[in-house]
Structure 1
């Protein structure tokens, strides 16, 4: 099992490796595999990049994120300007049914609501908005529409795992109940855990994924 000191060193190195991140702006604390990030960055996309960098590190079991986004005076935008930019960006993204999404902006916080047919559309909306100037945080309250006909969800998910180089399908059990999928078993990193969940959400007629995958470094169960 990796020590907190080893994990922290790798987290700091991974942050330094990211070209969009100034690692000197971010504080890192590791306790029992839980990484706490703190500090201030000047864009929401940098905040997300820091989180993704940490998830790639082996031994990280969870992230407690307390990084604040603060724009300089010259970059400050009104909520009305941010809202217009959000709506325009959603319109330009072909993966997002913008007519089904409602936008609300409060002090730089963007709240998305509405209904879409697929989980990837919900995630695409958040990703599109998160890169815009003036956005401090994105709250994704978009829900999924109910469909009628169920498919062979379990089989499709397992085939998706088999196609993914970074997900070991042999250690993952897929349990289906109606439109809910439960993932059980073990993975080697937080990123692998999230990738497995994302793959499950991509299957037809899946509205909810219960992720019970345990993070366990491969050497621990070799």
Structure 2
């Protein structure tokens, strides 16, 4: 098992290696495998990339992202400008369902609202607006419509977990309540936990995943 000090060093190395992150003003601390990121980044996308980089490191059991997005003067923009660019980004990248999504911006915080056909559509919408200049944060409240009978969901998720080459599903339990899913059990790494979460979300009909899987110490 990696020590907290080893995890800290590896996270710092990963942050320095990632070309989308300027780790100059980022401080990393680790306690019992849980990483805390503090300091300053210069865009929301950089804040998101820093968190993703930390999650990629073996031995990380959780991440607390306390990074502050402090935009440089050149990136400061009004809410209407941000909203217009976000709408245009959605129309350009997601023309099939962009009109089902509403954009609300307040003090640089961008909120996505509406209903789309799948969880992947929901993720794509957040991805489309993440790099809009001037955005300080993205709150994704878009809902995914269910198109699969609830009774089929449990079986489909269990089968998906068994098929995955990236995780051992033996210690994962799936509970389904209608279109909402609860995952329980233990895995060996944060990457495995994420893969289980993604496998559940990829299942048609799932509208919510409560991931209670823990990473073994």
Question: Is TM (by shorter chain) over 0.5?
Answer: yes
The Cα shift of 1:81 comes to: 1.0
The Cα shift of 1:129 comes to: 0.9
Q: 1:80 to 1:27 in 2, by over 3 A?
A: same
The answer to whether the 8 Å contact 2:145/2:205 transfers is no
Aligned to 1:34: 34
Q: How does 1:116-131 map to 2 (within 5 A)?
A: 116-131=116-131
1:111 equivalent to 2:74? Answer no
CA distance in 2, matches of 1:46, 1:20: 6
The Cα shift of 1:168 comes to: 2.3
Q: How does 1:24-173 map to 2 (within 5 A)?
A: 24-94=24-94, 97-147=97-147, 149-150=149-150, 152-173=152-173
Relative to the length of structure 2, the TM-score reads 0.91
Q: Which runs of 5+ in 2 are unaligned?
A: none
Per-residue CA deviations over 1:62-101 (Å, capped at 9, x if unaligned) read: 1111111122212222111110110011112238622121
Relative to the length of structure 1, the TM-score reads 0.89
Q: 1:193 to 1:127 in 2, by over 3 A?
A: same
CA distance in 1, matches of 2:75, 2:134: 7
CA distance in 2, matches of 1:73, 1:96: 35
Aligned to 1:196: 196
Q: Which runs of 5+ in 1 are unaligned?
A: 218-222
Q: How does 1:205-220 map to 2 (within 5 A)?
A: 205-216=205-216
CA distance in 2, matches of 1:96, 1:162: 33
The Cα shift of 1:50 comes to: 0.6
Aligned to 1:3: 3
CA distance in 2, matches of 1:87, 1:131: 13
Supply the RMSD in Å over aligned alpha carbons.
Answer: 2.0
Aligned to 1:187: 187
The answer to whether the 8 Å contact 2:146/2:179 transfers is no
Aligned residues: 217
The Cα shift of 1:27 comes to: 0.6
The Cα shift of 1:41 comes to: 1.4
Aligned to 1:15: 15
Q: Helix, strand or coil: the match of 1:158?
A: helix
